[in-house]
Amino acid sequence: MNHMKRSVVSVAVSRCPRTSVPEMKGEVGRVIGIALIKQFGWKADLRNPSLEIFIHLNDIYSVVGIPVFRLPLASRAYIKVAGLRSTIAWTMASLAEINVGAVVLDPMCGLGTILLEAAKEWPNASYLGADVSDSQLLGAFDNLKSAGLMDRIELFKFCVTELPLLSQSVDVIISDVPFGKKFKLGKDIKSVLHEMERVLCVGGTIVLLLSEDLHKYLQDYKESNITWNSSKDSTDEFKIVKYVNAEEKNRIQENVSSSFQDVRQECLDKRPLFGTLVQMECHKVSLGRTEAFISKYKKIHASELQQPS
């Protein structure tokens, strides 16, 4: 504690950009700084503190932390060109249930951070990365080389909506869905998910990093499908897929009135995004300046529209 009495301290406050009271940021830093100085007799030094205190604010909670290491936890000696924060990439991989012998795909791999983190931690699996951008693939290649993982991760130039992979040939998909100014996907997310659903085997896992907007868009889309079905059956997502089963389709077609058929057709045209994909968990994470969601899905059975190859 003697050492602590001589300490110089800095308090850094960050806040989620959408926090409703932006001016609180400076005020919180000031109040906490003064309290520490009064309580412990520490001095404030923003340039060369021996102790840093980080406070992250949003509208619901605040996180107070004291970094244990000088280097950020996310820094990796083997990453030559930095992409997604490595700690987020590792967390996504740890949720994905990568078993021995699994085929793991990141179809929008960018600089390959997710594949690198996964292949380092779960070495007994095969890893595939795809991207449409030559420069991103070149960066990923540099990272793989630097990490010594060239023999364990294969890179390809493919579009995520037209993967030249057999249906149900992949066990795990992990991806950081583009949402910034540089790479944007918008409503194409539905075709992205359909292609992921096609190549994923039954029982397989998808873990996605989604912007707040994309997350909300998918939640709304899912809820609109559930509402339509719940008036006739149950709110259980699992049962939604009934409406695309051939047998069920024929049975309904024989019995329903033409007006109901129109409504049903409209819903079938919507293609059930979550027909075979069930959301298992969802976690809000901070990316520093923005917040995002890690969303995990499982494929519960084969789609009628897919022919297992």
Ligand X SMILES: C[S@@+](CC[C@H](N)C(=O)[O-])C[C@H]1O[C@@H](n2cnc3c(N)ncnc32)[C@H](O)[C@@H]1O
Asked if residues 29 and 57 have their Cβ atoms less than 8 Å apart, the reply is no
Asked if residues 80 and 44 have their Cβ atoms less than 8 Å apart, the reply is no
Of 130 and 147, nearer to ligand X (C-beta) is 130
Residue in 76, 79, 90, 113 binding ligand X, rule: CB under 6 A: 113
- DSSP assignment of 44-67 equals E-SSS-SEEEEEEE-SS-EEEE--
153 binds ligand X (CB under 6 A): no
Closest distance between ligand X and the C-beta of residue 199, in Å? 13
129 binds ligand X (CB under 6 A): no
Site string for ligand X, 61-90 (x = CB under 6 A): ----------------------xx------
114 binds ligand X (CB under 6 A): yes
287 binds ligand X (CB under 6 A): no
Of 54 and 183, nearer to ligand X (C-beta) is 183
196 CA to centre of own chain:
14
Element (H, E) at 175: strand 170-176
Q: Is 274 exposed, middle or buried (0-12, 13-18, 19+ CB in 10 A)?
A: buried
Asked if residues 93 and 123 have their Cβ atoms less than 8 Å apart, the reply is no
Q: Checking phi first, is residue 271 left (phi over 0); if not, alpha (psi -120 to 50) or beta? A: left
Return the range that interacts with ligand X (CB under 6 A); candidates 118-126, 132-140, 212-220, 292-300: 132-140
96 binds ligand X (CB under 6 A): no
Of 136 and 276, nearer to ligand X (C-beta) is 136
Site string for ligand X, 160-179 (x = CB under 6 A): x---------------x-x-
Copy the structure tokens of residue 241. 């897929």
Return the range that interacts with ligand X (CB under 6 A); candidates 39-47, 111-119, 227-235, 260-268: 111-119
Element (H, E) at 128: strand 126-131
Residue in 183, 217, 221, 228 binding ligand X, rule: CB under 6 A: 183
β-pair type (277-286, 291-299) = antiparallel
Total of chain residues touching ligand X, rule CB under 6 A: 18
- List of residues contacting ligand X (CB under 6 A): 83-84, 107-108, 110-111, 113-114, 130-133, 136, 159-160, 176, 178, 183
